[in-house]
Amino acid sequence: MTAPTAIGANDAASVDAGSECTPRVVVIGGGFGGLYAARRLARGPVEVTVLDSTGVHLFQPLLYQCATGMLSEGQITAPLRALFKRHRNVATVLAKAVDVDAQARIVHALRSDGTALQVPYEHLVVAAGVQQSYFGHEEYAPHAPGMKSIDDALTVRRRVLAAFEMAESLPTAEQRRPWLTFALVGAGPTGVELAGQIRELAGHTLREQFRTIDPEEAHVLLYDGGDAPLASFGPELSRRAACTLEGLGVELHLKTKVTGVDATGLEVEHEDGSTSRVQARTVLWTAGVAAAPLAAALARSTGAEQERDGRLRVQPDLSLAGHPEIHVVGDLMSLSGLPGVAEVAMQGGWYAGGEVLHAVAGRSTGKPFRYRDLGSAAYVSRGHAIVSAGPLKLSGRLGWWGWGLIHIAFLTGYRNRAGALLTWLSTLASGTRRELVFPAHDVDTGRAAFTGSASTR
C-alpha cells in the first residue's frame, strides 16, 4: 500500500502555495451545496480545496433527459476545474473523502488510483449529498439502476434503448413483451419525469424507426406505495399530473409495494395484500435515497447524530454540534424537515461559506440559516409540467414554460444553457433526439454486450 501523502499549504497541488497564514477551507462535494459554498468562499481571504469524487458539477434535475437521449452528458455537467479557473484561491482535487479526523482536522481521501491522500483543514464544509437507497435490498441494484449520477443516466439510456433493439430481433409477441415493458419504482419527480420521457421516446422519437415492432406499444408502468404521483406538489397538481400521465399511456400502479426485483421482472404487493409478478426486462429505481457513506464516518468522528436515513443533524447555523468549524449542507444535512432539493443546497452552501468567512474575520453573525422557499417544478411530458411557488400553481403548457425558464436559469454555465435551449427547440421542431448513442457495455456493472454463445439460439 502506498503511504498517504498530504496536500499542505506548500504542496504543488494547492493554489497560492506558500500562503501558510491563509486559513484553509476544505469543501467536500462539488454539487449544488459545495459549489455555492466554494463560490462564496472564493471571494474571501481563504484558501479553498474542493474535493469531489467525480470532478464535475452535475445538474441532477436534468439527468432523466440525459438518460432518455434528449441532452448530452456535457450539457448537464461542468468540470469543477473550469468553473473555478478564475478563482486563484480555489483548487479542485479529484478524490473521494472516506473519513474525517475531527481532532486532527484532516480529511482522509482516496485518489482515483486508490492511493491515499490527506487534506488538512481549519474549516470544513461537507456537501457530499445522498445516494440511491434500495431500503436494505442491495440485491435489486444490478437489476434496477437508480438515477443519481452520469453513470446511472448512461446505464438507463443503454437499458431503455437496448430493450427496443432486443424486442425488434425477437420472433414472437410473447417474447417481445417483457422487453417492451418498462417498470419504474417511485412516483416522485424523477420517476414521473422518466416515465413520461420513455413514453415520448416510444411514441415520437422512435416512431417509424423499427420494422418488426411498433415502439408505441411499449408499456410503461409506474409503481408507488402512496396514493398519488408527485404527492409533494399537493392534491390538485398531483391529480393533474396523474391525468397527463394516463393520457400519455403511463400505467399508474399506486398503493402498490415492490417486494422483489430480478433480471426478468418484479414482484409487487397490492393494497389488498395479494401479490403478483410482472415480466419487465427494464426496471428503473427512483424510490429512495440515503446519506453518502461519509456521513457515518463524520458521525463517528464528531459524535454528530444521524437520522434513520443517515443524514446528519445540524445546528441552526448548519454546523455540527460541538464543531463550529464543520458545516454540513445540502441533501446530507437534516434541519427542521427541510426537503432535499437544489434550492436548500444552494442557499445552505452560500450561507455556510459566509459563516466561514465571518469566523475567519473573527466575527460571528449569530444569524441562523433561513431557507427561502422559491417553489418546485416537475416535467411531466412535452407541453406539460407543473410548478408550485407559494400561491402560484401552474400546470399544462403554462407550467411547461415556467419549468423551462427555471431550468435554463439554474443550469450551470452559459454554454450549457444555450446548448440545452437549442436542443430543446430542435427536439420540439423535429421530434428527434440527438443523444441516442449508448455504450456497448453496462456502465454500472461493466458487463459487456454479446458475451453469449451464438449456437444456443
Ligand X SMILES: Cc1cc2nc3c(=O)[nH]c(=O)nc-3n(C[C@H](O)[C@H](O)[C@H](O)COP(=O)(O)OP(=O)(O)OC[C@H]3O[C@@H](n4cnc5c(N)ncnc54)[C@H](O)[C@@H]3O)c2cc1C
Whole-angstrom distance, CA of residue 49 vs CA of residue 31: 14
Q: Which CB sits closer to ligand X, 266 or 298? A: 298
Task: Identify residues 437-456 at the interface with ligand X (CB under 6 A).
Answer: none
- Residue span binding ligand X (CB under 6 A) among the ranges 156-164, 253-261, 338-346, 365-373: 338-346
CB of 448 to ligand X, least distance (A): 26
**Is the CB of 128 or the CB of 258 nearer to ligand X?**
128
Does the protein bind ligand X through residue 96 (CB under 6 A)? yes
Applying CB under 6 A, does 353 fall inside the site for ligand X? no
Measured from the CB atom, the residue of 32 and 164 that comes closer to ligand X is 32
| Minimum CB distance to ligand X smaller for 266 or for 292 | 292
Nearest to 126 by CA among 365, 350, 327: 327
Taking CB under 6 A as the criterion, the residue among 32, 121, 223, 369 binding ligand X is 32
Residue nearest to ligand X (CB): 31
Handedness of CA 67, 181, 214, 189 (dihedral sign): negative
Q: How many residues bind ligand X (CB under 6 A)?
A: 36
The reply on whether position 224 binds ligand X by CB under 6 A is no
CB of 314 closer than 8 Å to CB of 328: yes
- Closest Cα to residue 150, out of 222, 70, 57, 82? 57
Nearer to ligand X, 64 or 400 (CB): 64
Side chain identity, residue 267: E
Is 294 a binding residue for ligand X by CB under 6 A? The answer is yes
Active site residue 193: yes
Closest to ligand X by CB, 50 or 213? 50
Sheet holding 106-111, edge to edge: 5-6, 116-120, 106-111, 90-101, 47-52, 24-28, 123-126, 323-328, 319-320
Catalogue the long-range contacts made by 306-309 (C-beta closer than 8 Å, 24 or more residues apart): 307/334, 309/130, 309/133
Rounded to 5°, angle at Cα 35 from 30 and 37: 120
Residue 51 main-chain phi, psi, to 5 deg = -105, 120
Q: What are phi and psi of 193, to 5 degrees?
A: -65, -45
Given 193, 200, 355, 435, the catalytic residue = 193
Stretch that binds ligand X, among 205-213, 250-258, 327-335, 351-359 (CB under 6 A): 327-335
β-strand 116-120 against 5-6: which pairing, if any? parallel
User: Is residue 147 a contact point for ligand X (CB under 6 A)?
Assistant: yes
The x, y and z cell numbers of residue 50, run together, are 474542493
φ and ψ of 198, to 5 deg: -65, -40
Q: What secondary structure does DSSP assign to 281-329, as a single string?
A: SEEEE-S-EEE-THHHHHHHHH---B-TTSPEE--TTSEETTEEEEEE-
Q: What is the x/- site pattern for ligand X, positions 36-75, by CB under 6 A?
A: ---------------xxxx---x-xx-xx-----------
Residues 425-456, buried b or exposed e (16+ Cβ, 10 A)? Answer: eebeeeeebebeebeeebbbeeeeeeeeeeee
Of positions 28, 221, 387, 411, contacts ligand X by CB under 6 A: 28
Interatomic CA distance for residues 116 and 318, integer angstroms: 29
Contact window for ligand X (CB under 6 A) among 25-33, 114-122, 299-307, 417-425: 25-33
Segment contacting ligand X by CB under 6 A, of 224-232, 253-261, 337-345, 425-433: 337-345
Q: Which is nearer to ligand X, 252 or 295 (CB)?
A: 295
Q: How far is the CB of 94 from ligand X (least distance, A)?
A: 9
Binding flags for ligand X, 183-222, as an x/- string (CB under 6 A): ------xx--------------------------------
The footprint of ligand X on residues 108-127 (CB under 6 A) is 127
Could you tell me if residue 326 is left (phi over 0), alpha (psi between -120 and 50 degrees) or otherwise beta? beta
Residue span 376-415 as binding mask against ligand X, x where in contact by CB under 6 A, dash where not? x---------------------------------------
Sole window of 24-32, 158-166, 247-255, 355-363 interacting with ligand X (rule: CB under 6 A): 24-32
Residue 347 as a binder of ligand X (CB under 6 A): the answer is no
Q: Which helix (H) or strand (E) holds 22?
A: none
Q: Stretches 27-35, 117-125, 171-179, 255-263: which one binds ligand X (CB under 6 A)?
A: 27-35
> Site residues (CB under 6 A) for ligand X?
28-34, 51-54, 58, 60-61, 63-64, 96-97, 127-129, 147-148, 189-190, 292, 294, 330-332, 340-343, 345, 376
Query: So which residues are the catalytic ones?
Result: 193
